[in-house]
């Protein structure tokens, strides 16, 4: 088995045979399961581990062997963007979920999917004993699936066609509903988010989205939305941090030791008494109602020195100063 594997690897496997049934690999002599066993054995014994190239291709072969098929573009995307072996993408095939994997991009050097082409993917995947068959369902454009080259390709095409038709029947969103939703949006931002949601959840290709919903340039739209989401999350974290700093500044102006309060909170987090919490809230509320206005002149030098020392302990002295200048109005800040 190992000798056959090495012999076939000497061929120019980037080339393949085009037939009426689809593109078929030139690899001969081994079944897909035997190819996986031989490939893992040779890789472990001869390649430096971990071998990213062999690991990714063998993972694709394993998914096809276990599931019977894998959409070629999804396999290429998984191989290009995810650390292998990826478990999330094969689970979607098992559960018959018609959407792309949402696993975070963990590959250090991901491939730009905007440059994806079926010819490039075929030259890569058909170095293994696989076949790439085109399946067309209804009036939609055909989709390419990777299958075992030794399987009955005609039967597989028929079964995959029925699978695609079933997925389309389950697609409840039509053009009329989509237009109504677009018109109900009150801003361009809402319309962009709606288009992004439709493009991500339907699992349709760029051409299908353009023909069915009029959504074009999906790759750039997706990049803008993802950037906006990341920016919104960053702003939310900063707002929460500023709010926490404001609370600490108020406590410090009342003479409380913020560091001591934080340590007490962390130590009693798992064993909190509801009655004690209510009592502490009442004490804090009474202190807030009786506190001296922020800009009132302080005649007691000892109190002033204490407040200054407490203020210097805070790591965010500059932010606190700015907040006080704005009367603790973090929105204005």
Q: What is the pLDDT of residues 173-204, one digit of tens each?
A: 778 888 888 888 888 888 888 888 888 777 67
**Of 77-86, 96-105, 107-116, 246-255, minimum mean pLDDT range:** 96-105
Q: Tokens 């472990």 correspond to what residue?
A: 44
The Cα–Cα gap between 84 and 197 comes to: 27
Which pTM was predicted? 0.49
Most confident of 106-120, 169-183, 254-268: 169-183
DSSP designation for 113: G
| Helix (H) or strand (E) segment spanning residue 27 | none
Residue with more model confidence, 320 or 274: 320
Beta carbons of 289 and 250 less than 8 angstroms apart: no
pLDDT confidence of 167, banded at 50, 70, 90? low
Task: Evaluate the CA torsion angle 198, 204, 208, 212 in order and state its sign.
Answer: negative
Q: What residues have CB less than 8 Å from 213, skipping those under 6 apart?
A: 175, 178, 195, 198
Q: Facing residues of 146 across strands?
A: 70, 132
104 has pLDDT over 80? no
> Could you tell me the two tokens for 11?
């061929």
Residue with more model confidence, 80 or 306: 80
DSSP designation for 110: -
Q: Tokens 């001869």 correspond to what residue?
A: 46
HSE (CB half, 13 Å, CA atoms) of 296?
A: 8
> Could you tell me the two tokens for 305?
């020195």
Instruction: Encode pLDDT of 47-88 as tens digits.
Output: 888 787 788 889 899 999 988 889 898 888 888 777 766 776
Q: Facing residues of 145 across strands?
A: 71, 133
């Amino acid at each position: 088995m190992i000798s056959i594997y090495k012999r076939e690897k000497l061929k120019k496997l980037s080339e393949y045979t085009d037939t009426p049934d689809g593109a078929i690999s030139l690899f001969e002599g081994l079944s897909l399961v035997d190819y996986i066993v031989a490939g893992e054995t040779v890789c472990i014994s001869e390649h430096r581990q971990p071998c990213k190239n062999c690991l990714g291709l063998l993972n694709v072969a394993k998914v096809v062997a276990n599931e019977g098929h894998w959409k070629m573009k999804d396999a290429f995307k998984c191989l290009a963007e995810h650390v292998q072996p990826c478990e999330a993408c094969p689970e979607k095939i098992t559960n018959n979920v018609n959407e792309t994997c949402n696993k975070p991009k963990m590959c250090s050097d991901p491939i730009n999917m905007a440059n994806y082409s079926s010819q490039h993917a075929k030259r890569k995947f058909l170095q293994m004993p696989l076949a790439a068959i085109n399946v067309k369902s209804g009036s939609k454009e055909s989709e390419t699936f990777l299958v075992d080259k030794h399987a009955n390709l005609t039967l597989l095409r028929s079964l995959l066609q029925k699978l695609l038709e079933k997925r389309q029947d389950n697609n409840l969103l039509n053009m009329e509903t989509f237009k109504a939703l677009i018109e109900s949006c009150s801003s361009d931002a809402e319309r962009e988010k709606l288009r992004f949601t439709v493009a991500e959840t339907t699992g349709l290709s760029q051409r299908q989205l353009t023909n069915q919903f009029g959504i074009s340039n999906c790759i750039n739209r997706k990049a803008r939305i993802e950037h906006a989401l990341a920016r919104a999350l960053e702003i939310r974290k900063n707002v929460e941090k500023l709010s926490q700093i404001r609370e600490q500044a108020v406590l410090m102006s009342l003479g409380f030791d913020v560091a001591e309060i934080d340590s007490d909170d962390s130590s009693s987090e798992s064993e909190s008494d509801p009655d004690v919490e209510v009592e502490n809230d009442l004490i804090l509320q009474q202190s807030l109602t009786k506190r001296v206005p922020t800009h009132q002149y302080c005649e007691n030098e000892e109190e002033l020195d204490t407040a200054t020392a407490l203020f210097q302990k805070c790591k965010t002295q500059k932010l606190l100063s700015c907040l006080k200048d704005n009367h603790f109005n973090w929105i204005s800040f």
